[in-house]
Structure formats: C-alpha cells, structure tokens
Amino acid sequence: MAISNVEGLAGAVQGRVVERGDSGYDEARALYNAMIDKHPAAVAYCADEADVSAAVQFARDRGLRIAVRGGGHNGAGLGSVDDGLIIDLSAMNNVTVDPAARMVRVQGGALLRDVDAATHEHGLAVPAGIIGTTGVGGLTLGGGVGHLSRGCGLTIDNLVAARVVLADGSIVDTDAERESDLFWAIRGGGGNFGVVTSFEFKLHPVKDIYGGPMFYELKYARDVLSFYRDYIADAPREMGAFPAFQIAPPLPFIPEKRHGDTFVLVVACWSGPVADGERALKPFHDVAPVFAEHVGAMPYPALNAAFDGLYPTGLQHYWKANFVKELSDQAIEAHVEHGTKVPAMTSTMHIYPINGACHDMASDQTAFAYRDANFATVIAGMWPDPAQNTANTRWVRDYYDATAPLSEAGGYINFMAEDDQSRIKANYKGNYQRLVDVKKKYDADNLFHVNQNIKP
Ligand SMILES: Cc1cc2nc3c(=O)[nH]c(=O)nc-3n(C[C@H](O)[C@H](O)[C@H](O)COP(=O)(O)OP(=O)(O)OC[C@H]3O[C@@H](n4cnc5c(N)ncnc54)[C@H](O)[C@@H]3O)c2cc1C
C-alpha cells in the first residue's frame, strides 16, 4: 500500500484541502453510492487546471494513489481511493455557451443539470444522461447515453475538444487534429488517460420536448417489451424511449392505493416538434392501456431532472450492465421474470436504445466499441437500507445471470459495478489493444488507475 503522506498539499494547491482527521472529512469523502466506504488521505478541491496539475504532480512525487472525482456518481465508487488523494473537480463547474456557434465549454466538475440550465436558456442541449446530478466528467468519458441518443448520438459523439492534465502534470488540448490518439481514447475510454479539466461540445436545437413516464400493468409487460423492441428499431430519430420496471413511488398522478405496486414503464422523450408529440407517442398508448402517466410538453431539463428526487445521494448501489444486439423473445421472458420482482422503489432496470444516430459512428471511430449494439441495458439496484444489501444484490445478480447469456459479452462501463474489472476487455472488444497502446503513450505508469482500468 502507498504511504499516505499529504504534508504540504495545502500549500501546493489553491483550493480547499481536507485531510484525514480534519472536521468535514467524512462529508468530503462521502460518495453518491453509500455502499462504498473509502478513506482517502486527503481531498483536494481544485480551483482550476493549474491546481489539478499541481495535485497530480504532488501525488506522483509522493507515490500517492489518485482518484479523480467529477460528480462522484459512479456506482463502482471510482471517484475515491483508500489512503490516496481525491482530486475533486466540483469547484470547476463553469459552463460557457456560445449560442451563435452552437458550442458549449464545460468544466470537468460540472453536473448535467449545470449544463442543461445554461444551454436551455438558448434553446439548445447537449445529449447526455437522464439524471441531473450526474457528473459530466465520468458520464462523457464513458460514452454518455440518454434521452437524445437516438437523434443526436452519444455525448462523446458531440465532443469536439477537451483540455487534459496528463500524468506528468502537463496540460494539453486535444481534438481531432491535436493529440488525436488521446482524443480518440477519451471518447469512451474513461478516466484512464488524464484529468479532463474542460470539454467542448456541439449543441443541438432542443428546447421543449414531449414525453414523460407511462405506467402499464405488469400483465402487459411482454406486450410492451416486444412492441418496444420492434417499434424502436426504425422509429423516427426524434424518439428517445426506454422501458423499465419500477415500483410506483407516491406521485400525485398515480392513484394512492397503487403506490408501492410494480409496473412496467416506458419513459418517452419526443424531441421533434412539440405539436407532433401526442401523435408520436400514440403507438405507446395503442400497445396496451396506460394505467397512469405524466406525459406532456415540458422543457428538456425538466424531464432530465424529473427523477432526481427519487435518487438522492446516500443510497446503496449495485449495478450490472450489458450491450444487446437482438432483444430476443427469450430475453424478454427473462426480463419479465426478474424485472417484475424488483425489490425496492429506487431499484430499476432500463433498456436504453443506442441505435439511430449512435450507429452513425463506426466501432473504431471512438473508443466506445459497441456501435453495432441496439440497446444498453442496466440492472440498477438502488436501495436506502444497508440491512437490505443481501436481498438487493441477489436480485441484481440473478437478473444479470439470466440476461447476460442472451446479451453481448461487454457492457457500458458507466453502468459497471466494482466487481466488473474482469470485463474491461469485453467492454472494448476490437478497440482494447489500441486503448492499451494509447495508455502506454500517455500513462505508462498507470497513475490514473482508479477507473475501469486499462492496464498499460
Ligand atoms: C442515478 C444515476 C443515473 C445515471 N444515469 C446515466 C445516464 O442516463 N446515462 C449515462 O450514460 N450514465 C448514467 N449514469 C452513470 C454515470 O455515467 C456514471 O456513474 C459516471 O461514472 C458518473 O460520472 P461522475 O463524474 O458523476 O462520477 P465520478 O464518480 O466522479 O467519476 C467516475 C469515473 O470517471 C472519472 N472522472 C470523472 N470526471 C473526470 C474528469 N473530469 N477527468 C478524468 N476522469 C474523470 C473518475 O476518475 C472515475 O473513474 C448514471 C449514474 C447514476 C448513479
């Protein structure tokens, strides 16, 4: 184990430093996933890229392990490290929109809701994830899947440049021309190659959308899932929609006596003309009776924040994921068998569509290799009480064991649990060797290893 020596760190960076034993230490080390209980030697709240560079060099010189924390959302707890240094980017959350150029520059510690708020003012959006409190950093570096993926591609497909602090502390700009290997690798390869202090994304004209969740009785689960599979294969690209299993939360649009019952859902996001929204969602109303819904025209950030309250910081998380090319009848049976047994109101299973614009990029064009997959599934165990850990992780594992053989070998790295490191090669399939080569070039000593790690 590395020696924990952080003496002098506070003088090396401008931002606040919290060390073990300081008041506020437990708050500073807390992660979104309360199941992960790591004790870093210190947390450095970097103020700018010079601070990030100083922190990297400080840790490197002293043999301290490094974890980089963007939004801290990672289910595997990869934003922290025992006895090492957390380079926390939360103070670096500026978002600067250039509406005329349809571009946005986002600092590495911003949250999705920061980006949504700033871009929505101009009627523009970056395609990203479905929860506002997720960090742009981790989400983007893994790929970035969400409501707009079918129409606008993954988040990385909209990344045009980034600034990165490398393992030697140097600061480089990267894009298709500059450090192009690095630019290729950070689009899906996670935090393996350096600390990204800012991202530049192109923006899409998405302001208000038509959509929301539709709840169906479980007896329609098979019909809904098979309809969804067929419909989404060639639905208009403006249609983002994913099915889910969900215990009904106490929401006003769900009759009180059904709170706590399990339903199959479709969450839709029609980003075409709002006036066409009702017509666009009609197929979802025709497939089976919708028991309850909260569907209509709304600002895009409202849908992106709609579930934030359901998923506060401090839940226990255990997730499993797969890519899927064909959602077979057998797979649907497995989903019906296990999805209907979802054990907690905050646990769920989502099948995200990653066809449409996500297929416009070739599998080797970015590090994100599964451009031939049509879906990214996630079995997301999330529950409040650690006493329920065994039952909830069991549900996730049983569900995964039933569906993984009917899926691709790899899954989306951002939906992986701590025990999924053995799947790294499968997650990158044909791109893995190039990732190793880029890792050797930029981080031969594997300084940045607290991630879904690509070993040099
Ligand atoms: C409730 C919930 C909803 C989610 N919804 C979606 C979704 O809709 N779509 C989707 O694609 N994903 C989704 N995710 C998964 C999410 O993308 C990952 O959890 C991601 O790792 C979160 O990034 P973060 O910055 O918040 O995490 P952190 O825990 O801060 O970091 C995660 C990893 O990324 C690295 N990292 C973070 N920022 C940087 C940076 N600036 N430079 C270098 N490395 C960095 C870290 O070192 C670490 O290895 C969701 C997660 C949760 C918990």
Task: Examine the pLDDT at 236 and tell me if it is beyond 50.
Answer: yes
| Residue 33: alpha-carbon gap to chain centroid | 14
Task: Examine the pLDDT at 83 and tell me if it is beyond 60.
Answer: yes
CB of residue 411 inside a 6 A radius of ligand 1: no
Closest residue to atom 8 of ligand 1, CA basis: 129
What average pLDDT does the segment 429-452 reach?
97
pLDDT at 1: 44
Residue 134 CA, ligand 1 centroid: distance in Å? 6
Name the pLDDT band for 418 (thresholds 50, 70, 90).
confident
Task: Examine the pLDDT at 3 and tell me if it is beyond 50.
Answer: no
CB of residue 85 inside a 6 A radius of ligand 1: no
DSSP tag of 400: H
Do 69 and 84 contact (CB within 8 A), yes or no?
A: no
CB of residue 186 inside a 6 A radius of ligand 1: no
CB of residue 240 inside a 6 A radius of ligand 1: no
Contacts of 87 (CB under 8 A, 6+ apart): 44, 46, 52, 55, 56, 59, 66, 67, 68, 69, 195
Do 174 and 166 contact (CB within 8 A), yes or no?
A: no
Name the pLDDT band for 333 (thresholds 50, 70, 90).
very high
| Residue 160: alpha-carbon gap to chain centroid | 19
Whole-number average pLDDT of the chain: 97
pLDDT at 162: 98
Name the pLDDT band for 2 (thresholds 50, 70, 90).
very low
List pLDDT tens digits, range 307-316: 999 999 999 9
Name the pLDDT band for 190 (thresholds 50, 70, 90).
very high
Q: Looking at 75-79, 123-127, 188-192, 265-269, which range is the least confident one?
A: 75-79
Do 220 and 264 contact (CB within 8 A), yes or no?
A: yes
What average pLDDT does the segment 240-249 reach?
97
DSSP tag of 88: E
pLDDT at 5: 85
Residue 239 CA, ligand 1 centroid: distance in Å? 24
Q: How is residue 375 written in tokens?
A: 């879906």
pLDDT at 395: 98
Dihedral sign for Cα atoms in the order 283, 286, 292, 298? positive
Residue 79 CA, ligand 1 centroid: distance in Å? 9
Strands (E), 217-324: 239-247, 262-270, 292-293, 296-299, 316-324
pLDDT at 67: 98
Residue 38 CA, ligand 1 centroid: distance in Å? 17
Cα–Cα distance between 293 and 216 in angstroms, integer? 9
CB of residue 189 inside a 6 A radius of ligand 1: no
pLDDT at 322: 97
Give the sheet arrangement for strand 171-175, strand by strand. Answer: 95-98, 103-107, 195-202, 159-165, 171-175
CB of residue 134 inside a 6 A radius of ligand 1: yes
